[in-house]
Amino acid sequence: MITADPTMTNLFLQLGLDASEQGIAQFIKSHQLPTEVALGDAPYWSDAQRTFLVEQLKADAPWAMVVDQFSEALHSDAEHGTARG
């Protein structure tokens, strides 16, 4: 059971990612997704990471809001029409 408060920092810790402010910003910047790719379908997740993210959204768990914000951040370039390349 996850006991940490649902924050972006704690989400990154839960996923085993660099949870520093710079680490979070860099991950989001370098892992942008096209609008048609759901967060759980991103190719860079491990099975455990994917399962955690998808389960949190499906369960509408306390973490769902943070996971949804994370998803929006990873889709921000596509939503704003920013070309990457």
pLDDT-derived band at 81, boundaries 50, 70, 90: low
User: Can you give the pTM of this predicted structure?
Assistant: 0.84
Question: From its phi and psi, is residue 81 left (phi > 0), alpha (psi between -120 and 50) or beta?
Answer: left
Average pLDDT value for residue range 43-68: 92
Contact 15, 66 (CB under 8 A): no
pLDDT-derived band at 51, boundaries 50, 70, 90: very high
Domain architecture of the chain: domains with CATH: 8-79 (1.10.10.1130)
State pLDDT tens for residues 1-50: 466 789 999 999 999 999 999 999 999 999 999 999 999 999 999 999 99
| Alpha carbons 58 and 24: distance in angstroms, whole number | 24
